[in-house]
Amino acid sequence: MHYEYTLQYNPCAMCVGKSHCRECAERIAGAIRDTGLAENVEADTREKYLRFDAEPADLPEIEDALEGAGAMI
């Protein structure tokens, strides 16, 4: 199943230069990929979106990984 969320990344609020957006987005996407539960993961902290394919039963574990990375959906 395909999911698309509005992304909130807590460290963005404290980031003044906004020069590490790509790195931060990759950190978020990597946290989801590392679970092995999602595919086709895309994150963008500037545009504030998160997209991925996963099974509905795996969402709680994916959300925990996001929270651990400082992101919220």
Q: What percent of the chain has pLDDT over 90?
A: 78
Q: Does 7 have pLDDT greater than 90?
A: yes
Q: Does 21 have pLDDT greater than 80?
A: yes
Q: Does 6 have pLDDT greater than 90?
A: yes
Question: Which pLDDT score is estimated for 14?
Answer: 82
Closest CA relative to residue 11, chosen from 69, 66, 63: 69
Q: Which long-range contacts (CB under 8 A, 24 or more apart) does 26-29 make?
A: 27/69, 28/66, 28/69, 28/71
> pLDDT category, 18, cuts 50, 70, 90?
confident
Residues in the chain: 73
Q: Where would I find the H helices in the chain?
A: 21-33, 59-68
Please give the span between the terminal C-alpha atoms of the chain, in angstroms, as a whole number: 17
Q: Which two tokens stand for residue 33?
A: 């990929």
